[in-house]
């Protein structure tokens, strides 16, 4: 097959809404969106608390979180694999090679990003708002809801950064999901497999969807910061 024919076949897959193809796309989105949602629920308040709290060891935690933003996905995958494997501490739950396992692994990848970026955003906002919020009696943890709300546009960008990392990674979902067709096969694991098998149209079609997704994320991030700039003056 020449490159032109491969592209043609790939487009046919995308446009033709092939059920197997769509299943892979939807599973990827389900896993990644769930992981980002969970990471947001945990990471936003935790990052804000970290921004406001002062305690010994805080600097070390911030350095570790920043380092974890670059955690190799295969290492995260390996850690979750060890946890969930039959002989591991959570083995009896029988979660290995399920979408749930993939969600857990991606939460671990996304959470440091959400916490670290939230910490930064909220700390900057707090230094600007501190006098007024303390003046009206919102000190310490009581200031967090206000800060999270007022940082909403910057925080949306942080969540999209997390989404971008999770949707693009292959190592973690491959190790804990097992790339089982129709069950734990995501866009990235499918591209890896199909490319090595030689089914280039499928790999390329999925690659196109992934690319469009990345493009959409960046467009949304740009839009959010523009709307934010309107409110930020």
Partner 1 sequence: MLSTTSILPLTVEAAAFSGDGKLLVEPNSFVIPAGGLTVLLGPNGAGKSLTLRLCHGLLTPSRGAVRWADGADGRAKRHAMVFQKPIMLRRSVEANITHALAAAGANGAERKVRAAQALDRFGLAERAGQPARLLSGGEQQRLAIARAWALRPELLFLDEPTSQLDPAATRQIEELLSGLVAEGITVMMSTHDLGQARRLADRVLFLHRGRLVEDTPARDFFAGPLSAEARAFLAGELLW
Dig out the tokens for 73 from the structure: 């996905």
Contact string (CB under 8 A) for partner 1, positions 123-152, x = contact: -----xx-xxxxxxxx-------x--xx-x
Looking at the Cβ atoms of 211 and 229, the one nearer to partner 1 is: 229
Q: Which among 16, 24, 3, 13 is positioned nearest to 177, based on CA atoms? A: 24
Minimum CB separation from partner 1 for residue 232, in Å?
Answer: 6
Minimum CB separation from partner 1 for residue 52, in Å?
Answer: 16
Contact string (CB under 8 A) for partner 1, positions 81-120, x = contact: ----------------------------------------
Dig out the tokens for 55 from the structure: 């305690």
DSSP-based three-state secondary structure for 65: helix
Whether the CB-CB separation of 155 and 167 falls below 8 Å is answered with no
Looking at the Cβ atoms of 55 and 149, the one nearer to partner 1 is: 149
Helix axes 3-15, 200-232, angle to 10 degrees: 60
- Distance between CA atoms of 115 and 159, rounded to whole angstroms? 10
Q: Which among 86, 149, 158, 150 is positioned nearest to 118, based on CA atoms? A: 158
Looking at the Cβ atoms of 86 and 230, the one nearer to partner 1 is: 230
Minimum CB separation from partner 1 for residue 150, in Å?
Answer: 4
Q: Which among 66, 61, 233, 52 is positioned nearest to 145, based on CA atoms? A: 52
Whether the CB-CB separation of 89 and 21 falls below 8 Å is answered with no
Minimum CB separation from partner 1 for residue 227, in Å?
Answer: 10
Minimum CB separation from partner 1 for residue 148, in Å?
Answer: 12
User: Is 54 a residue that touches partner 1 (CB under 8 A)?
Assistant: no
Minimum CB separation from partner 1 for residue 109, in Å?
Answer: 30
Looking at the Cβ atoms of 23 and 228, the one nearer to partner 1 is: 228
Whether the CB-CB separation of 205 and 6 falls below 8 Å is answered with no
- Distance between CA atoms of 96 and 106, rounded to whole angstroms? 14
Looking at the Cβ atoms of 181 and 229, the one nearer to partner 1 is: 229
Cα Rg for the chain, rounded, in angstroms? 20
Contact string (CB under 8 A) for partner 1, positions 203-232, x = contact: -------------------------x-xxx
Task: Point out which residues bind partner 1 (CB under 8 A).
Answer: 128-129, 131-138, 146, 149-150, 152-153, 228, 230-233
């Amino acid at each position: 097959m020449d490159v032109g024919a491969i592209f043609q076949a790939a487009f046919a897959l995308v446009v033709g809404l092939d059920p197997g193809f769509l299943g892979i796309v939807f599973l990827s989105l389900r896993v990644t969106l769930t992981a980002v949602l969970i990471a947001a629920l945990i990471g936003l308040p935790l990052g804000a608390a970290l921004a406001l709290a002062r305690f010994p060891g805080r600097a070390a935690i911030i350095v570790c979180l920043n380092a974890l933003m670059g955690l190799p996905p295969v290492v995260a995958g390996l850690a979750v694999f060890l946890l969930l494997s039959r002989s591991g501490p959570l083995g009896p739950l029988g979660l290995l090679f399920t979408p749930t396992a993939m969600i857990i692994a991606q939460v671990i990848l996304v959470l440091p990003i959400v916490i670290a970026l939230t910490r930064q955003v909220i700390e900057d906002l707090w230094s600007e708002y501190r006098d007024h919020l303390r003046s009206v009696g919102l000190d310490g943890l009581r200031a967090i809801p206000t800060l999270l709300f007022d940082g909403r546009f910057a925080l949306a960008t942080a969540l999209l950064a997390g989404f971008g990392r999770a949707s693009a990674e292959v190592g973690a979902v491959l190790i804990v999901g097992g790339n089982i067709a129709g069950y734990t096969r995501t866009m990235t694991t499918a591209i890896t497999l199909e490319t090595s098998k030689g089914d280039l149209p499928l790999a390329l079609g999925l690659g196109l969807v992934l690319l469009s997704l990345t493009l959409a994320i960046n467009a949304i991030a740009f839009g959010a910061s523009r709307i934010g700039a309107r409110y930020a003056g």
